[in-house]
Amino acid sequence: MIAVIDYGVGNLFSVEKALIASGGEVAVTNNADTIKNADKLVLPGVGAFGDCMKQLEATNLVDTVKNEVAKGKPLLGICVGLQLLFEESEESEGVRGLALLPGKIKKIDATGEKIPHMGWNSLDISENTGKTNLFNGLSSNPYVYFVHSFHAVCEPSLISATCDYGGKITAAVQKENIVATQFHPEKSGDVGINILKNFVEG
């Protein structure tokens, strides 16, 4: 069973529906015991880094999520759910993230391009796809859907995909049992379903 963590932020119905379409058995939950009993976790997120972190802390699930990930349980972060995995963000100075991954979330520096980065863009998939390869079976430059103004700045070894938007932007990251996408797989059509299926089956 896959637990989609409900902390009052994000389009949970779309994520749940897409995971079910990908073959997953899904529970949308804010219950610590359900999260502990789940096989895999999904951390969605929409909005500002600080607001999302505050909401997550209000559910008293921060330690639960950290402990389950430390045990090796697979975790997929989506959009701001990716950003929360890092230590901090320029969007909300002074707010500490989950710090499951080293690095900082910074505003996109895209000269001549509109911010937020919104719409379809193609991925450049790296060789750092990790134990759970979200991009298995996809073409070399699949198109996915983005809505964001910030992205992860971190060690290249953590980056599993980038896209070009006035420069290189981090589109996906991975480390051991953690995978995360800055784009929205649940809004990315058949490509997104394939990505989620790789997580469900990985």
Distance between CA atoms of 84 and 79, rounded to whole angstroms? 9
Given 16, 52, 79, 88, the catalytic residue: 79
Peptide bond into 44 cis (omega under 30): no
Catalytic residue of the set 117, 148, 151, 184: 184
Per-residue pLDDT of the chain (202 residues; tens, 9 = 90+): 999 999 988 778 999 999 999 999 999 999 999 999 999 999 999 999 999 999 999 999 999 999 999 999 999 999 999 999 999 999 999 999 999 999 999 999 988 899 999 999 999 998 777 677 899 999 889 999 999 999 999 999 999 999 999 999 999 999 999 999 999 999 999 999 999 999 999 8
Residues ≥6 apart with Cβ < 8 Å to 187: 14, 145
pTM metric for this prediction: 0.96
Burial (CB count within 10 angstroms: exposed 0-12, middle 13-18, buried 19+), residue 44: buried
Please name the residues in contact with 147: beta carbons below 8 A apart, sequence gap of 6 or more. 79, 116, 117, 118, 184
Residue 79 annotated to the active site: yes
- Residues 115/149, Cβ–Cβ less than 8 Å: yes
Catalytic residue status for 186: yes
Domain ranges of the chain: 2-201
**3-state secondary structure labels for all residues of the chain:** CEEEECCCCCCHHHHHHHHHHCCCCEEEECCHHHHHHCCEEEECCCCCHHHHHHHHHHCCCHHHHHHHHHCCCCEEEECHHHHCCCCEEHHHCCCCCCCCCCCEEEECCCCCCCCCEEEEEECEECCCCCCCCCCCCCCCCCEEEEEECEEEECCHHHEEEEEECCCEEEEEEEECCEEEECCCHHHCHHHHHHHHHHHHHC
Q: Please determine, looking at this structure, whether the domain spanning 2-201 carries the CATH number 3.40.50.880.
A: yes
Residue 152 φ/ψ, nearest 5 degrees:
-80, 130
Is residue 148 flagged as an active site residue? no
